[in-house]
A and B are shown apart, each in its own frame.
Chain A
Amino acid sequence: MAGTFSGVELPEILVLRQLARDQLIFLYSQMTGRKDLVLDTQLMRPLDRLAGAALLKEHGVDKIFKLEPGKSLAGCDQRIFIIRPQMQSVKMIADQINADRSSNIKRAYRILMAPRKIHACDLILEQEGVYGYVTTEEFQWDLIPLDKDILSLELPEFLPAFFLENDQTWVHTVARSLVTVQQVFGRIPNVYGVGKCAQMVEHMAELMFSHVGEPQQVNSEIGSLVLVDRSVDYVTPLLSQVTYEGLLDDMFRISCGYIEFPPAVSGKDTPTKMILTCSDSVYEEIRNRHFSGVFSFLSGKAKELQSGYDKRHDLKSVRDMKNFVSNDLRGLKSQHKSLTLHVGACEFITNQKTKSDFDQQLQAEHSLLEGTELKENISYLEEIINRQLNSTTCLRLLTLMSLTQGGLPAQVYKSLQTQYMHSFGFEHMLTFHNLRKLGMLTEVEQSQASRNLGKMAAVANVNLPKSGQFRNLCKKLHLVPKSADDINLRNPNDMSYVYSGAYTPLVCKLVEQILSKEGFTGLEDIMRQIPSPHFAKHRAQSARGGKHTSAAPSPGSRIVMVYFLGGCSHSEITALRFLGKQRGQPVNISFNQSLNTYFSSRI
C-alpha cells in the first residue's frame, strides 16, 4: 500500500514491520507451549502496532499483563517479559520472581529487552539473585512504520538521554535502525547531517556496515537521508500547532498512531480508540489542513455522504440494490463513522480554544517569533502564571521567550521562575535545571552561574544559544514571513501555513535548502548560526551495479528520508509532506518518538 506521490512510489516501508514481527514470533516460539506475557506499559502501544493480540494468541500467548510494581500475577508456568532495558523494570521483574519463589511457585521466565539488551541489566538480575532462573534475550526493534510515510523508533528516552544526560546508549539503536533500513532498501547514496548526534549516528552506522558487510540490495530505493538533531531547533515543537493533525495531538495526544477521544467527542460512555493513518479517507483529506479549513471541508463531506446515502432512493433494480448494499454502503458507513468522530473532535477543539484564550496565546507566540512586544509578553506571561492557567502552556511560552530572545535578562529570568515556582510548586526547580542544561531556558548575563552552566552544557552536548542567533536565522532563512497575509491557509503555497503563516519550521527549511543545494555549499552563512557540526556524504551511485552507472538514476533517488534525532512534531511532518509535494520529492519521515508541545514538561 505504498502510496504514489507525484508519480514516484514511496518504498514499501511496511516490510520493516514484517521484519520486527517475524523476530517477535521467533522469540515467542522459542518458548514452547502456553505462556503469559508481561509488558512494560511504555511498550504496549508500539507492540500493538507491531503485532495485535490475535497474532500473539496464535503463538501460544495466554494472558497479557502490565508490568506493575508490587503485584504478584497469577497465570501459567511460563512467562515472557518484554521491557525496555531500564533498571527499574528489571528490578520489578526480579521482585516478582523472588516473590514467586518464596511462595514456591515454579515458573520459567524469559526477558526480552527492546530495543537492545544491556549488560547492566543482567548484572542487576545477578545482584538480585535471580539470574539463574531467567533467560534474557534481545528483541531488536527498529523503525516501526506508523503510516505509509512515517517511521518511528518509539523511543521517548532518546531526547533526555542524549541531550540532557549525555547518555549515548540509544545512538547505537538509531544507527542500527539505519543499517536495517539500508539493508532492506539499499544504501542511501546521499547523507546529510546536522548536529553532533547525527554525526555519531552516521559514523556508527558506517562502522556497523564494515562489520556486517554491504547489503545485497544494489538499487537504492531511497535517494537521500537527512539526519537532524532535535537540539538544532527546539523552537518549533514549542509552538501551538494549528493543523488538524497537530491540534489533535495537542489536545488528545496521538501516540504511536493511536488517538483516544474522550466521551465528550464520541458521544459514547467510554473513550473511543482510533487509529489515524492514511487508510481513513476522511482523515487523509483533513490531516494536513489548517484548522480553519477543516470544518468547511467536513460539512462538504457530510453533504457528499448524504447524497451517497440518497442514492438508495434512486435504486431501480434489485441488482442496483445489491450493488449499493455490497459496495457503496460499507464505504459510506465507515466514512460516516469517522466523519462523526472528526466533527466531534472539531467541536471539542473549538470549544477548548475559546475557553483557554487560545487566540491570545497564539498572538503571544507570533509576536515572540517576530521578536516584538517583549514587555507585553512578559506581563502576559506573568498573568497566566498567576492565574495558574496551565503549567505546560506557561512553561512553553517561557522557554519560547528564552529561545527566541537568545536568553532572558537576569531580572526577568529570576522573577518569572520565582513566580512560576510559587504558582506551580518547588519541584519545578528541577525542571528549570534541566531546561537550562538543554539550553532552552537561559539567562543572558555572564554571571558566575551561567559560566558554570556553560561548562555543564559542554558536557551535555549542548551549545548554549548565543543571543540573537535565532533572530539571525530567521532573517537568513526567512523563517518568519514578512506578511502572514500572503500565505493562503486553505490552499497552501508555503510551508509556513502549518503555523498560520507566522513561521516555517527551521528543520524543514533546512531540509529544503540542503536538498536544493545538494549539500551545504552556499549555506555556510546559515550554518555558522547553528552551533552544531554538519556534514554531507555522497556515495557513488551503484558503482557495483556496473552497467547502470550511466543509465538514469534509479526511481528511488528522488525519495528523501528525514530522520529527526530526538523526535518531531506533527506540524513538521505536515510541513515536510507539503515540501515533498512541492518538490515532487516524496519524503519519508523517521523519528525516535513523536513530540508534541507537551514535551518540555516531560523533562
Chain B
Amino acid sequence: MYHFSRKHELYSMQWADKVDLSKFIIAAAPYGGPIALMRDDSKLQKSQITTKPIIYVFNAVGAEISAIRWNSGRVLKLAWSNCEDLLCIQNDGSVLVYDIFGSFKRTFSLGQEAKDVKIVECQVFSSSQGTGIAVLTSSYRFFVINNVEDPRIRRLAEVPGLNKPPSCWTMINQDRQSRALVARDNEIYLLDHGGQCEQQFPRVSGEVVAYVEMAASFNTRHIALFTSNGLLWIGSADLQKVYCEFNTKSPTRPQQLVWCGTGAVVGYWKNILLMVGLDKDWVKYSYDTPIHMVAEVDGLRIIGHESQEFLQKVPKVVEDICKIGSMAPGAMLFEASRLFQNGSQQADEYIHMIREKLNYAVEQCIEAAGREWEPNVQKQMLKAASFGKCFLTDYRPEVFYNMCQMLRVLNAVRDYKVSIPLTYMQLQNLTLDVLIDRLVVRRQYCLAIRICNYLRMPEAEGASRILAHWACYKVQQTNIEDEQIARAISQKLGDTPGVSYSEIANRAIECGRTELAIRLLDYEAKAAEQVPLLMKMKRDQLALTKAIESGDTDLVYTVLLHLQDTMPHGEFLMAIRNMDAAHSLYIQYCRDTNKNILQDIHYQEDNFFDGANCKVIDSYEEETMEARFGCLTSAQENFTKGKYEWAAKQTEEQIKLLRYQRRLEEEFSRAYLDLSLHETMRKLIAEGNTKVVEQMRKEFKVPDRRFWWLKVIAFSESGDFIELEKFSKSKKSPIGYEPFVEECMKQGNQTEAQKYLTRVSPEHRVQCYVRVGHLDQAAEIAFQQQSEDDLNYILSKCTNTNRGLIEKIQGMKSQMTSK
C-alpha cells in the first residue's frame, strides 16, 4: 500500500459547495495556516465587475473566520506573513495588513516608483529576517523589502535590456541576502541589492528556447526550472548542480509549479498533477475540480473543493518499517509487537533477531510514530517502541516521552475545530512558542494554556503571556459590562507572575473604555506602570494617590508637577493639602523653585509659624536693607498672628539691631551688619565706643553678668589691659574675677592675670593660681583650705622640674591626714 510518495486526506472541506476555486485569487499560509480567497476580477468579464469584492478568510478546514469588504484599490496579490497577518498588495504598491479576524492593522507603501508606474508582478517570500515582498514594476525594475514588520525598500540591480516582463522569476536566499533569479527567455540572471547582475548558466542538456516557470524549494536551496518545450530541470539554487532532468512532454506551462518538501517537484496542469522525484521517479494524479497547492517544509498541501490533502515523499523511516518484506530493525520490532498483541510467541523470535539493534529499532518506531497522521497508526508505532523498550535495561525514556507529548499536542491542534494541520517536522521547524502564538492569534486561549501547562512551560512565558492576550481580547468585547470583564479578568489572572495589568488597561483605553481601564489598573502591582496610565486617562487624583502609596517620590513628583501645570492653582493646592507626603514634597519643590507659592501655601493653611520662618530665611537673601526689613516685619506679623509672642519679640529686636548696625556702619564706616548682638557690642567695646555700648545695653536689656563677660573678653582680646583693670575696679564683679584671670592667660599675659588673683573668690582661687602657674601659692592656699582634692589636682599639674614642690605637697597631705 505504500509507494514512494503518499497522499492522505487532512480534512474534508466545509466550504464544499459554496466555493469555486477557479474564480478566486487564493492565498494559503504554510504550516497549516489560514486560507484567504478573493474574487479574481481578471477571470471575469468587464461588465460583471460591479460590486466591491470581498476577501474571505477560512481556516484550514474551510470554515469561514472572517470576511473583509474591500473598498481600496486593485489587489494584485494576497499573501500571509510569518505571523499570519494577511498582506493585501495593491498594484499601486501599498500593502494593507489585516489579522485573521479581518481587523485592519496597518499599511505601508513599497515606494514612490511603485506608486507612480504601478506594479505588474509580485511575490511574497520568506527571507532571513522574516517575510519579504518582491515586486516588479511596469518599468521592469525589481524592488524588495526583507521584512514586512520593518519595511525598508531596496532596489535590485537591473537586468540588461529587459523591455518586457521576464518570462519567469523567483526569490532565493543566499548568504542571508535575498536575491532574485530572473529569466529572460533562455538567459537567467541573478540580481542582488548591491547592484550586481550576474548571468547564470545552468547546465541543461539540449537547447532551451525559454524558461517559462521556476520554483524554489521551501528552504530555497533547490530550484526547479520549466522550459517552453516541457523540460523540467531540477538542481541546486546556484544552478551548478543538476539533480535530474525530466521531460514532461507538455507544451503548456503548468498552472502551478511547487516543491514537495525537498525530494520532489509537483506541477499542476488542468486536471493533472505530476510529481517528479529527484531520481526521475514520477507519479500522476488526476483531479476533476480545480485545486491549489501550498508548499510545506516536508510536503505539499493540496486544497480542493471537497477536501484538503497532504502529499509527501514517504519518509525513509516509515518506508523502512512499513515496506513489505522490510528487514529493518524497526520493521521487525513493529511485527514483534503486533504478534505479541495477538498473543503469538513468535514475537520472541523477532525480538531475538534484532537483539543487538533493539535500541535502534525503538528509535525508528518512535520516529515513525512522529511521521504518521492517524492516531491509530501513531499508537501502534509507539506501542511497538514501548514493547521494545522493555527489553532494554539502560534506555533513556526522554525521547519516547517527548514524542508522546508532542503527538498529543499535534493531535490536539489538528482537530478540525482548531484546524492547524501540522506535521511533526513542521512543528520542529516552527517551534512550540510560535505554535502557542498562533493559537493565541486564533483566540484558542484555553487550548494554548492547557498545552503550556501540559508541557510544564514556565508561567511567565507560557500561561501568563496567554492570559494577558486573552485579557486584551476580552476588553475589546464592548458588549459586556465593565464590571463583569474586570472581575473575569482578575479571577483568571489573579497574581500570575509576569502579567502586566497596565498593558491590558492600555488596550482598554485604546478601546475607549476608561472605567474598565481604571478597574484593571487597580490590579497592577507596579506603580510605575499604573501612574502614567492613570494620568493619561486624566485620573490625576487617583494617580496621585497611587503614587503616594507606592512610596516612590519620583512618581509623586511626576504627578504633582503635571497637576500643577494643568489645574488652577488654588484648586491644586486644595487637592493636595490632605495628602501629607505629596504636600511636603510640593513644599520642598517650592522652596527650591518658587518661594512665593510657598508663602501662599502657608497663608492658605494658616500656618503662621512656617510662614514666618520662610520670611526669616528670605530676609537673609534679600539684597537691600529695605527689603530685609520688610521680610522681618512680615515675619513678625506672622508670629504675632500665630500667637508666638516670644518669637515676635525676638524678631522685633532683630529689626532693631539691624537698624543699629546700619546706623553704626554709616557712622563709623566699619562692617557691623549681621553680627550677633554680643559680637556687635564686643566689637564696639574693643573699638572704645563706650557710649553706644551703654545705649545698646539699655536698649536690649543685656543683664549685668553677660555685660561683664562681654567687657572682659572684649578688653583682653583687644589687649586693652588698662581699661580692663579700670573696669574691674568700677564695681564688684557679678561674675567673679576668675574670668579676668582666665582671659588674661588666654592672651598669654601673666603679669596682668596676677593682678586679679587676690580678688578671686576662695573656692576658685586654687585653680586660678594653677592657671597662672603659681603652683607653690596654689598649694599653700589648698593647704589652708584643707582640700585634699585640690592638692591632688596641683600634684597632677606638677612636672619633674618641680620636685621640691611635690615633696612639699606630699608633706602637706600627710600633715592633713595626721590631723
Min CB distance B711 to A, Å, is 11
Min CB distance A172 to B, Å, is 6
> B581 an interface residue at 8 Å Cβ cutoff?
yes
Contact A166 B584 (CB under 8 A): yes
Which residues of chain A are near B554, meaning CB under 8 Å?
Answer: 116-120, 169, 172
Min CB distance B768 to A, Å, is 14
> A29 an interface residue at 8 Å Cβ cutoff?
no
Of residues 407 to 453 in A, which have CB atoms within 8 Å of B's CB atoms? 414, 418-419, 421-427, 429-430, 433, 448-449, 452
Which residues of chain B are near A452, meaning CB under 8 Å?
Answer: 609, 642
Contact A459 B580 (CB under 8 A): yes
Cα A536 to Cα B199 in complex, Å, equals 81
Cα A196 to Cα B558 in complex, Å, equals 25
Contact B580 A421 (CB under 8 A): no
Given the interface contacts A87-B593, A414-B646, A452-B609, does A388 sit within 8 Å of B713 by beta carbon?
yes
> B620 an interface residue at 8 Å Cβ cutoff?
yes
> B650 an interface residue at 8 Å Cβ cutoff?
yes
> B289 an interface residue at 8 Å Cβ cutoff?
no
Contact B613 A433 (CB under 8 A): yes
> B526 an interface residue at 8 Å Cβ cutoff?
yes
Of residues 196 to 232 in A, which have CB atoms within 8 Å of B's CB atoms? 200, 203-204, 207, 210-211
Residue interface mask A118-158, B partner, CB < 8 A = 1 = 11100110000000000000000000000000000000000
Contact A120 B678 (CB under 8 A): no
Contact A211 B526 (CB under 8 A): yes
Which residue of the partner chain B has the closest CB to A168? Answer: B553
Which residues of chain B are near A165, meaning CB under 8 Å?
Answer: 584, 587-588
> B795 an interface residue at 8 Å Cβ cutoff?
no
Given the interface contacts A118-B557, A203-B551, does A429 sit within 8 Å of B616 by beta carbon?
yes
Contact A421 B650 (CB under 8 A): yes
Min CB distance B706 to A, Å, is 5
Which residue of the partner chain B has the closest CB to A127? Answer: B593
Min CB distance B447 to A, Å, is 29
Which residues of chain A are near B588, meaning CB under 8 Å?
Answer: 165, 167
Which residue of the partner chain A has the closest CB to B525? Answer: A210
Given the interface contacts A88-B592, A172-B552, A448-B643, does A421 sit within 8 Å of B676 by beta carbon?
yes
Min CB distance A351 to B, Å, is 14
Cα A418 to Cα B675 in complex, Å, equals 15
> B705 an interface residue at 8 Å Cβ cutoff?
yes
Given the interface contacts A120-B557, A165-B587, does A424 sit within 8 Å of B676 by beta carbon?
yes
> B15 an interface residue at 8 Å Cβ cutoff?
no
A425's partner among B674, B709, B710, B713 (CB-CB below 8 A) is B674
Given the interface contacts A87-B593, A386-B706, A452-B609, does A422 sit within 8 Å of B676 by beta carbon?
yes
Of residues 599 to 617 in B, which have CB atoms within 8 Å of A's CB atoms? 609-610, 613, 616-617
Contact A422 B616 (CB under 8 A): no
Which residue of the partner chain B has the closest CB to A427? Answer: B620
Contact B675 A425 (CB under 8 A): yes
Cα A172 to Cα B581 in complex, Å, equals 14
Min CB distance A288 to B, Å, is 27
Which residue of the partner chain B has the closest CB to A432? Answer: B647
Given the interface contacts A172-B554, A387-B709, does A123 sit within 8 Å of B561 by beta carbon?
yes
> B644 an interface residue at 8 Å Cβ cutoff?
yes
B644's partner among A168, A210, A449 (CB-CB below 8 A) is A449
Given the interface contacts A88-B592, A418-B650, does A425 sit within 8 Å of B676 by beta carbon?
yes
> B727 an interface residue at 8 Å Cβ cutoff?
no
> B70 an interface residue at 8 Å Cβ cutoff?
no
Contact B613 A430 (CB under 8 A): yes
> B585 an interface residue at 8 Å Cβ cutoff?
yes
Contact B553 A419 (CB under 8 A): no
Of residues 335 to 377 in B, which have CB atoms within 8 Å of A's CB atoms? none
Of residues 327 to 366 in A, which have CB atoms within 8 Å of B's CB atoms? none
> A456 an interface residue at 8 Å Cβ cutoff?
yes
Residue interface mask B643-661, A partner, CB < 8 A = 1 = 1101100110010010000
Of residues 516 to 549 in A, which have CB atoms within 8 Å of B's CB atoms? none
Cα A371 to Cα B526 in complex, Å, equals 51
> B700 an interface residue at 8 Å Cβ cutoff?
yes
Min CB distance B531 to A, Å, is 11
Cα A200 to Cα B580 in complex, Å, equals 15
Contact B650 A426 (CB under 8 A): yes
Min CB distance A203 to B, Å, is 7
Which residues of chain B are near A166, meaning CB under 8 Å?
Answer: 580-581, 584
Contact B678 A422 (CB under 8 A): yes
Which residue of the partner chain B has the closest CB to A210? Answer: B525
Residue interface mask B604-642, A partner, CB < 8 A = 1 = 000001100100110010000000000000000000001
Which residues of chain B are near A86, meaning CB under 8 Å?
Answer: 592
Residue interface mask A454-466, B partner, CB < 8 A = 1 = 0010011000000
Given the interface contacts A165-B584, A452-B642, A459-B584, does A430 sit within 8 Å of B676 by beta carbon?
no
Contact B650 A429 (CB under 8 A): yes
Given the interface contacts A203-B551, A426-B654, does A456 sit within 8 Å of B702 by beta carbon?
no
Cα A200 to Cα B552 in complex, Å, equals 11
Which residue of the partner chain B has the closest CB to A169? Answer: B553
Which residues of chain A are near B675, meaning CB under 8 Å?
Answer: 425
Min CB distance B657 to A, Å, is 7
Cα A383 to Cα B550 in complex, Å, equals 51
Given the interface contacts A119-B558, A422-B702, A452-B609, does A167 sit within 8 Å of B552 by beta carbon?
no
Contact B561 A119 (CB under 8 A): yes
Which residues of chain B are near A430, meaning CB under 8 Å?
Answer: 613, 616-617
Contact B553 A456 (CB under 8 A): no
Given the interface contacts A119-B557, A422-B702, does A429 sit within 8 Å of B647 by beta carbon?
yes
Which residues of chain A are near B620, meaning CB under 8 Å?
Answer: 427
Which residues of chain A are near B24, meaning CB under 8 Å?
Answer: none
Min CB distance A117 to B, Å, is 8
Which residues of chain A are near B552, meaning CB under 8 Å?
Answer: 172
> B677 an interface residue at 8 Å Cβ cutoff?
yes
Contact A422 B557 (CB under 8 A): no
Min CB distance A227 to B, Å, is 15
Cα A387 to Cα B555 in complex, Å, equals 50
Min CB distance A453 to B, Å, is 8
Which residue of the partner chain A has the closest CB to B739? Answer: A387
Which residues of chain A are near B678, meaning CB under 8 Å?
Answer: 386, 388, 422-424
Cα A425 to Cα B657 in complex, Å, equals 10
> B589 an interface residue at 8 Å Cβ cutoff?
yes
Which residue of the partner chain A has the closest CB to B654? Answer: A426
Cα A595 to Cα B361 in complex, Å, equals 78
Min CB distance A197 to B, Å, is 11
Min CB distance B376 to A, Å, is 44
Which residue of the partner chain A has the closest CB to B565? Answer: A123
Given the interface contacts A120-B561, A418-B650, A421-B650, does A211 sit within 8 Å of B676 by beta carbon?
no
Which residues of chain A are near B642, meaning CB under 8 Å?
Answer: 449, 452
Contact B551 A172 (CB under 8 A): yes
> A171 an interface residue at 8 Å Cβ cutoff?
yes
Which residue of the partner chain B has the closest CB to A428? Answer: B676
Cα A414 to Cα B650 in complex, Å, equals 10
Cα A521 to Cα B156 in complex, Å, equals 81
Min CB distance A93 to B, Å, is 15
A422's partner among B526, B613, B700, B713 (CB-CB below 8 A) is B700
Cα A433 to Cα B678 in complex, Å, equals 21
Which residues of chain A are near B587, meaning CB under 8 Å?
Answer: 165
Cα A424 to Cα B702 in complex, Å, equals 14
Cα A120 to Cα B739 in complex, Å, equals 55
A-B contact pairs, 8 of them (CB 8 A): A86-B592, A119-B557, A207-B525, A386-B678, A418-B646, A419-B706, A423-B678, A425-B675
Enumerate the 9 nearest inter-chain pairs by beta-carbon distance, A residue then B residue, closest first. A425-B676, A166-B584, A87-B592, A169-B553, A426-B654, A422-B677, A386-B709, A120-B557, A119-B558
A: residues with CB less than 8 A from B are 86-88, 116-120, 123-124, 165-169, 171-172, 175, 200, 203-204, 207, 210-211, 382-383, 386-388, 414, 418-419, 421-427, 429-430, 433, 448-449, 452, 456, 459-460
Further pairs besides A119-B558, A167-B588, A422-B676: 7, Cβ < 8 Å: A119-B561, A166-B580, A166-B581, A168-B585, A172-B551, A425-B676, A459-B584
